[in-house]
Amino acid sequence: MTSPASSTPLPHPLDAITPAFLEEILGDEALSWVRERNERTEKTLADHPDTAPSVRVLEEEILSVLDNPQRIPMVTVRDEWAYNFWTDGEHPRGLWRRQNYQNYLDGSDDWQVLLDVDALARTESRSWVWHGAAVCPQDPSRALITLSDGGSDADETREFAIDSKTWVSDGFFRPEAKGSLSWLTRDICWLSQPTSPDTTSPSGYPLRACLLHRGQSVEDANVILQADPSAMGVWARALRDAQGERSIVEVMEDFYTSDRFLVEGEPGELGPDSPRRLPVPRSAEATVWNRWTLAWLREDWSRQGQTHRAGSLLAFDTDELFASPDVAPSTTLFEPTAHEVLEDLTLTRDQVVLTTIRDVVSHLTVLVPPSSGVAEGGGAWKTVGLDVPGGTDGGARRIATAVVSPVDKQKSNDLWIVTTGYTEPSELWLVQPTVDEPEGVRSSATSVRQAPHLYDASNVTVTQHFAVSKDGTLVPYFEVSAGDSSGPAPTVLYGYGGFDVSLLPAYNPAVGRAWLERGGTYVVANIRGGGEYGPGWHRSALKENRHRAYEDFVAVARDLVGRGVTTRQQLGIQGGSNGGLLMGNMYTQYPDAFGAVLCQVPLLNMGRFHTMLAGHSWIAEYGNPEDPQQWQFIRTFSPVHLFNPERSYPSLMLTTSTKDDRVHPGHARSLGYLAEAAGKPVLYFENIEGGHGGAADNQQRAHNQALGWAFLWRELGV
């Protein structure tokens, strides 16, 4: 087994190529190694040149943005109440609070605090991080609250009495694990929880969907569906719409392959025979809404002599689909084009709202179903465009993103729409689409809250460009430039390129304060592996085609240099998680293209990734290293295997979190170890808590970000 560029045999994928102690997350030797490097990094970046701002100044600026009291308090509406979770300088772990919904719409800031997470953490001597709350639909005086110790994915859920602001002593409780607990009725919850080896997937997720009745222990919950041991995980949730209360249980084989089961009947009478599998492709995203089944295709689907393209959205009458799966008629609600794809769909009481992206910019459409099923001749779906609130950008193409969610999908068609852009602070709109005959749909939009301008964008310009990748593919990217653009400027190029994730324009005042206000240029690359042009854009960089994402990214880098935006020495790159894998490959495969690399919570050892924490769930994205044929291509994008101690590399900074139970910190530790041993310029910082997000509160978040920006200014700001 040899590298494409060398005749030197590579190690077996599971062989350790760095000391084993680095993978002992809380091992004494490992934590000692981490502390030494953290101290070295803090000291190095504290001693900053005149061309770089200090960590302290950057941290203060970023924290002022993160804790700004004028940012929008986003809410969840239940009956007459608007619920919000809020953090600030005095409450870094946060407050769960509520106020009257109409008062919220009127601009009130008079909140009733329900739970102080900082106080709870002090009382219980735990590092609690908020993971969410769900108010019981049948009894709005009760809620399920989920908390994580230190910010890891593993968390616990408790029942909370809202009126008395106390925990329900004999209420529902789910102990710490990578699971979930959600309301079905006041006295029955859906539970997905790994409780033993045979109920835990190789990725650490639950393999059972159960009904937990009030008073039952987690171990005694009624099993409704048990997945195969090789599955990625099982999750269940209740559906509440015009058809009443039903549920969906999803059995995931991997991120892109699932079986979804509809569960109907009286909650107290449900059993293992209740779930019925939705007869749609396993690769499709599918749900049930009112009388319809909606299937969002990841792959082409041929049926009844017609091929429905990947990225299309189809609607079936659910009863017709179950009665005649092979011949049930369907309606195509959306079909992608070369420039426009479906990014999201939102379900309200009577309408489906599509969010599409046209060359990575948002557009909205409202769909109104016919009164009865397709086979019954109930008429056609109405399709009406919905303007993105906020108007146009002076007649020019507005580079903005719209994020849509229902206000209360059981009771109304009202929508929350948040608009944002690189220089456009978030604005929250209440949009009320109304069905009008025969015109279709009209709507009104009211601005509810406006986030403040938190950096000086008066001289910032946003433009979209296209680079040409190695195989001729046009790759879009956004350039956010500040100050005098007549000459090359320090530039940070950000990318992700995986898991069908789209990088859309969004306001990021921390970037504005730390980078743009000081004359830097910020660039976001929409490379293959993401979802910017639909499922095909994602699939084109899977597994053996992973190299295309990396070729796209370096094509953008070279285009920036070729256009005179920056120079190689002034070009830094940044990415985290799968984007950290991208950074690792830029560092090892294209070291001459960049001046600095900021690699955050990364995957880097692709020979062992599937054996570490949640890594097994990513085999569908990267491949299986234990398959010799797949290892042949996986090894070509495994940074720790590609690292060559004889080669010159740009300055590297690696950051991760000890509490990250999704991407093992051993990835970052390994490349840091190799680079340091070879005498390469490398800094390493590992936050002790914070989970995959890297920080447990805004203070930690601001410090981590400040270290990264200080590193980039230090390396690129000459």
Helices 547-562 and 578-589 sit at what angle, rounded to 10 degrees? 70
User: How does DSSP assign 260-278, residue by residue?
Assistant: EEEE-S-GGG--TT--EE-
Active site residue 54: no
Amino acid found at 72:
I
User: Are 422 and 454 spatial neighbours (Cβ–Cβ below 8 Å)?
Assistant: no
User: Are 705 and 694 spatial neighbours (Cβ–Cβ below 8 Å)?
Assistant: no
Nearest alpha-carbon partner for 558 in 588, 519, 515, 590: 590
Question: In terms of C-beta density within 10 A (0-12 exposed, 13-18 middle, 19 or more buried), how is residue 40 classed?
Answer: middle
Dig out the tokens for 681 from the structure. Answer: 């310029």
Rounded-to-integer distance, Cα 686 and Cα 703, Å: 12
In 10 A of CB 359, how many CB atoms? 16
Helices 666-677 and 578-589 sit at what angle, rounded to 10 degrees? 20
User: How does DSSP assign 691-707, residue by residue?
Assistant: GGGT-SSHHHHHHHHHH
Dig out the tokens for 692 from the structure. Answer: 């995959």
Nearest alpha-carbon partner for 233 in 270, 196, 258: 258
Please identify which of the residues 330, 577, 651, 670 carries the catalytic annotation: 577
In 10 A of CB 283, how many CB atoms? 16
Nearest alpha-carbon partner for 201 in 653, 713, 622, 615: 615
Dig out the tokens for 150 from the structure. Answer: 């230190």
Rounded-to-integer distance, Cα 625 and Cα 610, Å: 8
Question: In terms of C-beta density within 10 A (0-12 exposed, 13-18 middle, 19 or more buried), how is residue 468 classed?
Answer: middle
In 10 A of CB 547, how many CB atoms? 16
Rounded-to-integer distance, Cα 223 and Cα 410, Å: 28
Based on its alpha-carbon atoms, the radius of gyration of the chain, rounded to whole angstroms, reads 26
Please identify which of the residues 308, 610, 692, 703 carries the catalytic annotation: 692
Dihedral over alpha carbons 253, 317, 246, 141 (to 10 degrees): 110
Active site residue 670: no
User: Are 650 and 568 spatial neighbours (Cβ–Cβ below 8 Å)?
Assistant: no
User: Are 675 and 644 spatial neighbours (Cβ–Cβ below 8 Å)?
Assistant: no
Nearest alpha-carbon partner for 44 in 651, 594, 677: 651
Q: How many CA atoms lie within 13 A of 389 on its CB side?
A: 24
**Active-site residue numbers?**
577, 692
